[in-house]
Chain A
Amino acid sequence: AQTVTQSQPEMSVQEAETVTLSCTYDTSESDYYLFWYKQPPSRQMILVIRQEAYKQQNATENRFSVNFQKAAKSFSLKISDSQLGDAAMYFCAYRRGSLSGGGADGLTFGKGTHLIIQP
């Protein structure tokens, strides 16, 4: 079974600074996808960024980028120029790909990291 570990229950960063949230995962499968979701106080789960395991290039979405280390099974999220609106719970999530026999299995989530932005 897959597991996702987020070892930082809470992180704090000054506005405009850079912060990195860590995530490790464990899987024996070769085809999978990794995601970072953001859940602000409104509790809506918002997709931040997605990484396909077969892609070596790290995904980037504006101020958000990942450091995907496949051999180390590490998938960290870097937020640059932090803004007050970035304050939220961030969940790292794993999903099997179709070549691993996956489908609508849903997501395996980590326990989340609560990100605080200091003005």
Chain B
Amino acid sequence: DTEVTQTPKHLVMGMTNKKSLKCEQHMGHRAMYWYKQKAKKPPELMFVYSYEKLSINESVPSRFSPECPNSSLLNLHLHALQPEDSALYLCASSQDRYGIGSGNTIYFGEGSWLTVV
């Protein structure tokens, strides 16, 4: 069982809607990630938070807005999305930014399926 929990599992939204994806982990990890995955492709890194601060933004359009309210929670706010943004959004976490050994392992949630209509 994954210890990274994502909600909702499925989301359908219109192009003018505002919605959010939520992610929670209780493993004491201090680095959290958002990935986007299209069908038959590997995940692509979007954002990285380290100690609740945004450390990496992989040139993601501003219609995606991440937020890390505390060390256990990660949100992805969605606004004015396009149909091509439809994908599986994976949240992940790891022990800390400079993990050593097992701390370097990134653990994934089950993902949120997003459909933009």
User: Residues of A at under 8 Å CB distance from B?
Assistant: 33, 35, 37, 42-47, 50, 52, 91, 95, 97-98, 102-107, 109-112
User: With a CB–CB cut-off of 8 A, which chain B residues contact A107?
Assistant: 43, 45, 106
Identify which of A35, A47, A91, A107 gathers the most chain B CB atoms within 10 Å of its CB.
A107
- B110 and A42 form a contact (CB under 8 A): yes
Interface residue from B41, B56, B99 paired with A106 (Cβ < 8 Å): B56
Q: What's the least CB distance linking A94 to chain B, in Å? A: 11
Q: A103-B98, A104-B31, A104-B56 are in contact. Are A44 and B42 (CB under 8 A)?
A: no
Give the B interface residue count (CB, 8 A): 35
Q: A44-B111, A104-B48, A104-B50 are in contact. Are A110 and B33 (CB under 8 A)?
A: no
Q: How far is the CA of A10 from the CA of B32 in the complex (A)?
A: 31
Q: How far is the CA of A103 from the CA of B49 in the complex (A)?
A: 11
Chain B 18-38 interface 0/1 with A at a Cβ cutoff of 8 Å (1 = within): 000000000000010101010
Nearest opposing residue in chain A for B113, CB measure: A43
User: With a CB–CB cut-off of 8 A, which chain B residues contact A105?
Assistant: 45, 48, 56
Interface residue from A43, A97, A102, A106 paired with B106 (Cβ < 8 Å): A106
